[in-house]
Amino acid sequence: MLIIGLVVAAIIGPLFVWRNNENRSIKRYGIGSAAAVVGAAAPAIGMGQCGFADGATGVDHLFMYGLMFGGGWLALLAAQSFFDRADGKKKDSAAFAGEIRTGGFRLGTWVPWVLLSPTLLILIVFLYFPAFSTFTLSTKLTRLGAPKSVDVCFGNFTELLITDPFKLVAYPLIAVALLYGARFWMRRSEPGTLSRRGADVASVLAVLSVFVALYAMFSPGGGGQVAYRPVYVTTIIISLGIVAFGMIGGLAVAYLAFRNLRGASIYRTMLIWPYAISPAVAGVLFFMIFDPTAGIFTHVMDVWFGIDVPNYRETAFLAQFSIILASGWKILGYNILFYLAGLQTVPLAQVEAALIDGATSWQRFTKIVLPALSPITFFLLVTNLTYAFFEVYATIDFMTKGAPAGKTSVAIYEIIRIGVNNGDLGRGAAQSVLLFIAVIAITMWQFRTSGERVSYGGS
Amino acid sequence: MAGLNPGVQRKGMIRGRKWPYHIGLTVTALIIAFPLLYAALISTQTNAEIFAFQIRPGSALRDHFQSVWFDRDFAGAMWNSTQQAIYVTVGKTILSLIAGLAFVYFKFKFKWFVFFLVLITLMMPTEVMILAMFRQVSGYGWQDTMTAIVVPFLASATGAFLFRQHFANLPTDLLEAAQIDGASPIKFLTKILIPLSWNVIAAMFVIQFVYTWNMFLWPSLILRDPEKQVVQTALQGLTNIDGALTYGPLMLAAIIASIPPAIIFVLMQKPFMSGFAVGQNK
């Protein structure tokens, strides 16, 4: 089975070279083919071909092929950058690395290395090395504090997914096809036409299909599989809840506060100070507010509205709501800060022109202010998502501890529960890898999109 | 709000009535402050007063302070957090400054590769590798030490890029002048670059101080000894005093824990914002 994979790699290599190069030669096709084969073989042989061993399931084969594909692709990208350099097409890497044109210090070549060495040392020892060990740990079954470990190949991953290999291939392919289809439609349609409206709707649906595909791929549990689908759903609900609440609230408050009033700087300070509050303290404060016996929330609901609120730690909706409220409140200050800065760059000439044209305040807001803020909105979307993925841990730990029945146990909380509290490092590491992939996907999306989106006016 | 006609003139000056904005902003500020004001009220009350939902300040603030600050040694946790935050903030700022210096004012082989190596770490949050890091750092025998909560956080891609960006936007003849004077790189950094960078350093200082002070997950894993806790993790020990839930001391501790980062943030707001403006511009 390894041979099949390597043959496919040997064919894809030259195709890749053909697609990406103007200077095509036999030598380059050969290099491309070899690079793809070596790149694909390295992870497979490095893992002892365990995904193809006797008794390996279809899903194991799938993972092994996936890993080979990834390795081959990386090798091809490396080869391509080598070709580009040879063609003189290299993206000005000097400018990329921020060199100043008038030369630099002409000192021994060791000087910059000495200056960079502490940073590099710490990044390698405390970021690259643990990142690498997270991947190796994820293929093992090992206990915290125990020296022994057993190789389980992809076992820690496959138990999180459904068992049907065909569905595991089909679902992501459908989602990707929809994404490309929507993009194609978007390119073909003219702005302002009905077709463009349809394309807008289609791209939203295509993005949704990615979430649905992931939902369908994670195992609902049973049959020896780990129920990861509920964790996925909880993570999505809580992250999107925090991001939506934090960003809409932040924009609304900033839009109220950016005008030049007397005492504007005092108001500003009074609005953004929660930036300095920790997620743990946010958890403590809302723990008090929502406390079922002593908290003001239950009391007010009961006395003023006659509603008997159940214990929030035993009701899924209330538990998620309280976490979203606490985290959203904490991140509000940060969002207000950036939106206030962004609102200073809104082109006033356009606002005045719209005012003369008789646009309503809502129209002015949606047609002029929102588009002008889009770079900041995008930046905040990514930072808020990172916050909702990781910093929410402390808030959850103080308020619900994942209760009821895991309904507030988001991915990072689950990783600590499995890896530290249960001491099951391998399984925890496998879930960490999933979260890692999510972060990489978001960052790639950020890098690609921030190049495309343009701001009007300002900066 | 629709009838107010919030017209916008130069510099966002409002045409028409202003008092609705004052009212709107005051109400919003109060809503945002509510959780903290409520905690401040609770921190003065005994459990009996809390359960009676008394709106006046209670009688127990002094007792709570005694119990939190001295009996439960929250003072010790504050001291630990202060040390950690200062070490990390100062260390990170220095490392980022010299990394920025190397990136902008030196030419060397494989610079693009080093740059890439640092850039990639932007998409490697500590949290996704926390289990491996926990095992690794425990293996060094660093549990319950200051080293464990300082050293891994001393380097920062964000910081290095913040200074790289700032230095790259400075006039290029600075370096020529310095070279004619025969200044060494360190002299160039301390005499010329740093005095031109106070805004960025202040921004870096606020971000890193708040980030370090508010860190929770990593200290909660690596610090087990109750005496070695930092403020965020010490709060956990206060959720339960003598087997009973005591709300007042917990709220008081939460407020005390927020004072240092809040003061730094409010005092350094101006340089912080202008430092961010540097980071934003291309």
Residue A201 lies in a domain: yes
Residue A355 lies in a domain: yes
Residue A39 lies in a domain: yes
Residue A387 lies in a domain: yes
Domain boundary among A92, A124, A149: A92
Which residues, numbered 174 to 233 in chain A, qualify as contacts with chain B under a Cβ-Cβ cut-off of 8 Å? none
Mean per-residue pLDDT over chain B, rounded: 85
Q: Do A441 and A294 reside in the same domain of the chain?
A: yes
Alpha carbon B143 to chain centroid, angstroms: 23
Q: Over chain A, what HEC string results?
A: CHHHHHHHHHHHHHHHHHHHCCCCCHHHHHHHHHHHHHHHHHHHHHCCCHHHCCCCCHHHHHHHHHHHHHHHHHHHHHHHHHHHHHCCCCCCHHHHCCCCCCCCCCCCCHHHHHHHHHHHHHHHHHHHHHHHHHHHHCCEEEECCCCCEEECCCHHHHCCECCCHHHHHHHHHHHHHHHHHHHHHHHHCCCCCHHHHHHHHHHHHHHHHHHHHHHHHECCCECCECCCHHHHHHHHHHHHHHHHHHHHHHHHHHHHHCCCCCCHHHHHHHHHHHHHCCHHHHHHHHHHHHCCCCCHHHHHHHHHHCCCCCCHHHCHHHHHHHHHHHHHHHHHHHHHHHHHHHHCCCCHHHHHHHHHCCCCHHHHHHHHHHHHHHHHHHHHHHHHHHHHHHHHHHHHHHHCCCCCCCCCCCHHHHHHHHHHHCCEHHHHHHHHHHHHHHHHHHHHHHHHHHHHCCCCCCC
What's the confidence (pLDDT) of residue B71? Answer: 86
CB within 8 Å: B95 and A112? no
Chain A neighbors of B249, CB-CB under 8 A: none
Min Cα–Cα distance to chain B from A186, Å: 29
Torsion, Cα A324 A325 A331 A332, to 10 degrees, reads 140
Q: Which of B181, B254, B225, B204 is nearest to B88 (CA)?
A: B204
Domain boundary among A40, A60, A92: A92
Torsion, Cα B256 B261 B266 B270, to 10 degrees, reads 170
Q: What is the mean pLDDT of residues B164-190?
A: 82
CB within 8 Å: A133 and B51? no
Taking phi over 0 as left and psi of -120 to 50 as alpha, with beta for the rest, B7 belongs to: beta
Whose structure tokens read 């100043």? Answer: A100
Min Cα–Cα distance to chain A from B128, Å: 5
With beta carbons less than 8 A apart as the criterion, state whether A63 and A51 touch: yes
Alpha carbon B50 to chain centroid, angstroms: 32
Is the CB of residue A87 less than 8 Å away from at least one CB of chain B?
no
Residue A190 lies in a domain: yes
Residue of A112, A275, A386 lying closest to B106 (CB–CB): A112
Cα–Cα distances (Å) from A300 to A51, A294, A317, B55, B251, in that order, read 58, 11, 19, 13, 20
Q: Do A40 and A179 reside in the same domain of the chain?
A: no
Chain A neighbors of B105, CB-CB under 8 A: 100, 104-105
CB within 8 Å: B98 and A115? yes
Residue A227 lies in a domain: no
Instruction: Give, to the nearest 10 degrees, the angle between helix B74-105 and helix B111-120.
Output: 150
Q: Do A74 and A25 reside in the same domain of the chain?
A: yes
What's the confidence (pLDDT) of residue A454? Answer: 39
**Residue to test with chain A: of B32, B126, B131, most A Cβ within 10 A:** B131
Q: Do A243 and A195 reside in the same domain of the chain?
A: no
CB within 8 Å: B38 and A285? yes
Chain B neighbors of A129, CB-CB under 8 A: 136
Rounded to whole angstroms, the Cα distance separating A382 from A396 reads 21
Q: Which domains does chain B have, with CATH numbers?
A: 15-59 (no CATH), 73-244+258-280 (1.10.3720.10)
Is the CB of residue B108 less than 8 Å away from at least one CB of chain A?
yes
Min Cα–Cα distance to chain A from B76, Å: 18
Residues in chain A: 459
What's the confidence (pLDDT) of residue A200? Answer: 87
Rounded to whole angstroms, the Cα distance separating A379 from A457 reads 17
Q: Produce one character per residue of A419-455: b if its CB has 16 or more CB atoms within 10 Å, e if not.
A: bbeeebbbbbbbbbbbbbebbeebbeebeeeeeeeee
Min Cα–Cα distance to chain A from B194, Å: 16
Is the CB of residue B17 less than 8 Å away from at least one CB of chain A?
no
DSSP B55: -
Write the CATH number for A421. 1.10.3720.10
Is the CB of residue B190 less than 8 Å away from at least one CB of chain A?
no
Which residues, numbered 402 to 441 in chain A, qualify as contacts with chain B under a Cβ-Cβ cut-off of 8 Å? 412, 415-416, 419-420, 425, 428-429, 432-433, 435-436, 439-440
DSSP B268: T
Phi then psi for residue A149, to 5 deg, are -150, 155
Residue A130 lies in a domain: no
Domain boundary among A92, A110, A127: A92
pLDDT band at B7 (very low <50, low <70, confident <90, very high): very low
Asked if the bond preceding A404 is cis, omega within 30° of 0, the reply is: yes
Chain A neighbors of B172, CB-CB under 8 A: 100-102
Q: What is the mean pLDDT of residues B18-22?
A: 86
Residue A385 lies in a domain: yes
Q: Do A281 and A185 reside in the same domain of the chain?
A: no
pLDDT tens for B207-245 read 899 999 999 999 999 999 988 999 999 998 888 655 566
Amino acid, res. A154: F
Rounded to whole angstroms, the Cα distance separating B96 from A115 reads 10
Is the CB of residue B244 less than 8 Å away from at least one CB of chain A?
no
Q: Do A246 and A395 reside in the same domain of the chain?
A: yes
Residues in chain B: 282
Which residues, numbered 96 to 135 in chain A, qualify as contacts with chain B under a Cβ-Cβ cut-off of 8 Å? 96-105, 107, 109, 111-113, 115-116, 118-123, 126-131, 133-134
What's the confidence (pLDDT) of residue A452? Answer: 52
Phi then psi for residue A145, to 5 deg, are 85, -5
DSSP B170: S
Q: Do A208 and A240 reside in the same domain of the chain?
A: no
> Mean pLDDT of successive 10-residue segments in chain A (459 residues)?
86 86 83 89 85 84 90 90 74 49 63 91 95 92 83 90 90 93 88 84 92 94 88 95 96 89 86 92 94 88 87 90 96 92 82 82 85 87 92 94 89 94 93 93 79 40
Q: Do A289 and A339 reside in the same domain of the chain?
A: yes
Q: Do A290 and A356 reside in the same domain of the chain?
A: yes
Min Cα–Cα distance to chain B from A51, Å: 24
pTM: 0.88
**Residue to test with chain B: of A132, A261, A272, A288, most B Cβ within 10 A:** A288
Query: How far from each other are the two terminal CA atoms of chain A, in whole angstroms?
Result: 55
Rounded to whole angstroms, the Cα distance separating B170 from B197 reads 10
Min Cα–Cα distance to chain B from A343, Å: 9
What is the residue range of A299's domain? Answer: 232-452
Query: How far from each other are the two terminal CA atoms of chain B, in whole angstroms?
Result: 37
Rounded to whole angstroms, the Cα distance separating B152 from B160 reads 16
Instruction: Give, to the nearest 10 degrees, the angle between helix A129-137 and helix B130-139.
Output: 110
Q: Which of B204, B214, B191 is nearest to B260 (CA)?
A: B214
Q: Do A23 and A77 reside in the same domain of the chain?
A: yes
Return the number of other C-beta atoms located less than 10 Å from residue A3's C-beta: 7
Min Cα–Cα distance to chain B from A290, Å: 11
**Residue to test with chain A: of B127, B176, B239, most A Cβ within 10 A:** B127
Q: Do A210 and A236 reside in the same domain of the chain?
A: no
Residue of A105, A126, A415 lying closest to B152 (CB–CB): A126
**Residue to test with chain A: of B19, B23, B25, B266, most A Cβ within 10 A:** B25
Is the pLDDT assigned to residue B9 strictly greater than 50?
no
How many domains does chain A contain in total?
Answer: 3
CB within 8 Å: B266 and A100? no
Angle at A26 between CA A25 and CA A27, to 5 degrees: 90
CB within 8 Å: B172 and A100? yes
Q: Do A238 and A355 reside in the same domain of the chain?
A: yes
Chain B neighbors of A112, CB-CB under 8 A: 102, 106, 108, 111
Amino acid, res. A371: P
pLDDT tens for B44-55 read 988 888 888 888
Is the pLDDT assigned to residue B181 strictly greater than 80?
no
Q: Produce one character per residue of B79-102: b if its CB has 16 or more CB atoms within 10 Å, e if not.
A: ebbeebbebbbebbbebbbbbbbb
pLDDT band at B281 (very low <50, low <70, confident <90, very high): very low
With beta carbons less than 8 A apart as the criterion, state whether A338 and A376 touch: yes
**Residue to test with chain B: of A106, A109, A111, A115, most B Cβ within 10 A:** A115
Q: Produce one character per residue of B184-197: b if its CB has 16 or more CB atoms within 10 Å, e if not.
A: ebeebbeebbeeeb
CB within 8 Å: B216 and A393? yes
pLDDT tens for B251-277 read 999 999 999 999 998 888 877 777 666
B30: three-class secondary structure by DSSP: helix
Chain A neighbors of B98, CB-CB under 8 A: 115-116, 118-119
What's the confidence (pLDDT) of residue A221? Answer: 84
